[in-house]
Amino acid sequence: MNSSLLAQKHPSGKLADKPLYRDPVFDGAADPTLIWNKNKKKWFMFYTNRRANADSLKGVTWVHGTRIGIAESSDGGATWSYKDTANINYRPDSAYSFWAPEVLEYHGLYHMFLTYVPGVFKDWNHPRYIIHLTSIDLLNWNYVSTLQLASNKVIDACIIRMPNGNWRMWYNNELDGKSIYFADSPDLFHWHDRGKAIADHHGEGPDVFHWKDKYWMVVDQWAGLGVYQSTDLLHWLPQPVRILEQPGTGPEDGTKGGHPDVIVNGDRAFIFYFLHPGRTPDNEKVDNTETRRSLIQVAELHESDGIISCDRDEPVYINLRKK
């Protein structure tokens, strides 16, 4: 069979690695967000860098004391290599934790909305905030402000620009039963909280994107990802089935997916998600370095009759366009 016929057997792009990415330092990559680095002409992936392989840490200390990892891709997102940690110039406390970055570019300036935890703790009973930082190179980040949102326990920002030119953020308000809230801004610097965004289910790690003439939200519901659709970014209709709830059969993909980032690439959309491959049904309650470790996978989304689906066992051919 000639090469042109072979090329027709799969979508365009290069076959993505599976697993897509493991952090070489702590083996705890989670909460990915992707952005095109205009200067380096590469894709950057920012992620929470959990200290999964530090076996002497008690409680959830291993999820604290984290910096934000950076991986890079020169082939459109099919393969990734470790780059560095982000230089976050905001450390008002002697001990601190950085979680769940959201990164975007506007008029040549990069913005990060980052969850900041003022300490390293053994449990979850402590404040956390969303802070705003800016950068010109995606490596060095300068503090701008701490956002005043619904409570002093907020995480997991996601931001898109609305058709009217303003910006909308979704996040997790943990003090309201881990509900998804939202806030609006005219300029990314001044924010007005708008309250609860969806009321049918709790969750975290929201991600909102425009695809197939609709807005979609995917939310980590700790049993796969809930999916919602909207025409106005205000009223959200839940779909009856979650995605990434059932295990995959590929390498290191046998447990539920969590906290994703979706990249729309022309008429195709790809979901980058993290999972704990060692948390299988027979050891879900075990706490050790095997069950703590996490990594990043990618799958392609499909839409039919207003329902999004995702076959995580389908080979992913990807070549993210340069933005």
List, for residues 245-281, the tens digit of each pLDDT value.
Answer: 999 999 999 999 999 999 999 999 999 999 999 999 8
> How confident is the model over 4-57, as pLDDT tens digits?
444 457 889 999 999 999 999 999 999 999 999 999 999 999 999 999 999 889
pLDDT score, position 10: 85
Q: Residue 322 has which token pair?
A: 């340069």
Count of structural domains, the chain: 1
The mean predicted confidence, pLDDT, of the chain is 96
Degrees, nearest 5: CA angle 307-312-316: 105
The CA distances from residue 70 to 14, 52, 89, 194, 293, in Å, are 21, 17, 16, 32, 17
The strand pair at 87-89 and 140-146 is best described as parallel
pLDDT score, position 55: 85
Mean pLDDT (whole number) for 88-108: 97
The strand pair at 237-238 and 225-230 is best described as antiparallel
Q: Which residue has the tokens 């999004």?
A: 308
pLDDT score, position 265: 96
DSSP helix/strand/coil, 160: strand
pLDDT score, position 9: 78
Q: Is residue 282 part of a domain?
A: yes
Q: Is residue 323 part of a domain?
A: no
DSSP run (H or E) holding 289: helix 289-292
- Find all residues with CB under 8 Å of 240, minimum gap 6, and list them: none
Cα–Cα dist 28/297, whole Å: 13
> How confident is the model over 223-252, as pLDDT tens digits?
999 999 999 999 999 999 999 999 999 999
pLDDT score, position 251: 97
The CATH number of whichever domain residue 248 belongs to comes to 2.115.10.20
Instruction: Give the pLDDT band (50/70/90) at residue 2.
Output: very low
Cβ(258)–Cβ(220) below 8 Å: yes
User: Would the pLDDT of 115 be above 70?
Assistant: yes
Q: Is residue 239 part of a domain?
A: yes
Cβ(222)–Cβ(275) below 8 Å: no
Q: Is residue 196 part of a domain?
A: yes
Q: Is residue 273 part of a domain?
A: yes
Domain that holds residue 278: 3-318
User: Would the pLDDT of 62 be above 70?
Assistant: yes
Instruction: Give the pLDDT band (50/70/90) at residue 323.
Output: low
Q: Is residue 52 part of a domain?
A: yes
Taking the alpha carbons at both ends of the chain, their separation in whole angstroms is 35
Percentage of the chain beyond pLDDT 70 is 97
